[in-house]
Chains A and B, each alone.
Chain A
Amino acid sequence: MSGADILFYILAAIILGSGILSVTTRHIFRAAIFLLFSLIGVAGMYFWMQCEFIAAVQIVVYVGGITVLIIFSIFLTQQAGEKLPEQTMGRQLFAALAAFCGFAFSMLHILKHSFSGTSKTATEPTVVNIGNHMLGIEQGGYALPFEVVSILLLAALIGCIVIAVRSKTPTL
């Protein structure tokens, strides 16, 4: 077992362990921190697959952006140190059962299916290749989706301001 294999199992343990803790802990702030570790583990998995650019985007956007946004919204909406209310046993039991059945079902199908890949020479996922393809307008280029996503981001930001802005006259 080489070092890369050991690294894979460590990363998988980090992702799944902190993911489980993130959805089961009753402290909402701890849930956010465990989510942060899970996202860092996913970024490490991208590094393990040698997609450095995606790993960098994951760290910048998820770890640096979304988690900080979630922590700020926890500060704005929750009382400090307050635990989430206890959950009913039946709901947890049925949710665990549904999740486990779905997991077993999809894993059975994945293990039965034999994937056949291409044998063409690999395109290295370097930043130069990604940039050339992403802004290319020839066959297989992604210039149009790129523009659509930028319009979507602009619309989302304006929508956030419209939703969250405090109106001058009190509503209550």
Chain B
Amino acid sequence: MMQPGLYHILFVSAALFFIGVFGFFTRRNLITMLMSVELILNSVNLNFVAFNKYLWADKLDGLFFTIFVIAIAAAEAAIAIAIIINLSRNFQSIDVEKTDEMKF
């Protein structure tokens, strides 16, 4: 085992990204799909911070991208949950294969 560095963090974030992709492919429930998207966004944030720390330590741009991604992820989660609640009210289900109409 080596001293953990940039490559180790990239390994962790790539693994986390593809765990999220796996969840997004297999899940058929909207809330669990949203959770997978959160995992994907977190792996991207981890990448930004790691590149900022190990490669361009004289700048702070990676940290700002992380902060903006977190803000947009919060907005996205709020919108997604509003849509999910609306769907469950109209269809009594949040399974993506049962919600097959766009408009009543």
B53 CB, nearest partner CB in chain A, Å: 5
Inside 8 A of B9's CB, which chain A residues have their CB? 45, 49
Chain A contact residues: helix, strand, loop or mixed: helix
Chain A residues with a Cβ closer than 8 Å to the other chain, count: 87
Inside 8 A of A94's CB, which chain B residues have their CB? 25
Is there contact, CB below 8 Å, between B55 and A118?
yes
Inside 8 A of B99's CB, which chain A residues have their CB? none
Task: State whether A133 and B32 are in contact (beta carbons under 8 Å apart), knowing that A73-B84, A163-B86 are contacts in the complex.
Answer: no
B44 CB, nearest partner CB in chain A, Å: 11
Question: Chain A, 4-20, contact with B by CB distance < 8 Å: what is the 0/1 string?
Answer: 11001100100110011
Residue of chain A at shortest CB distance from B29: A84
Task: State whether A117 and B60 are in contact (beta carbons under 8 Å apart), knowing that A54-B49, A58-B70, A84-B32 are contacts in the complex.
Answer: no
Q: Beyond A39-B42, A99-B18, A160-B81: 12 further Cβ-contacts under 8 Å?
A: A9-B1, A23-B39, A45-B9, A51-B63, A70-B31, A77-B85, A99-B19, A107-B14, A117-B57, A145-B64, A157-B78, A163-B86
Inside 8 A of A76's CB, which chain B residues have their CB? 85, 88
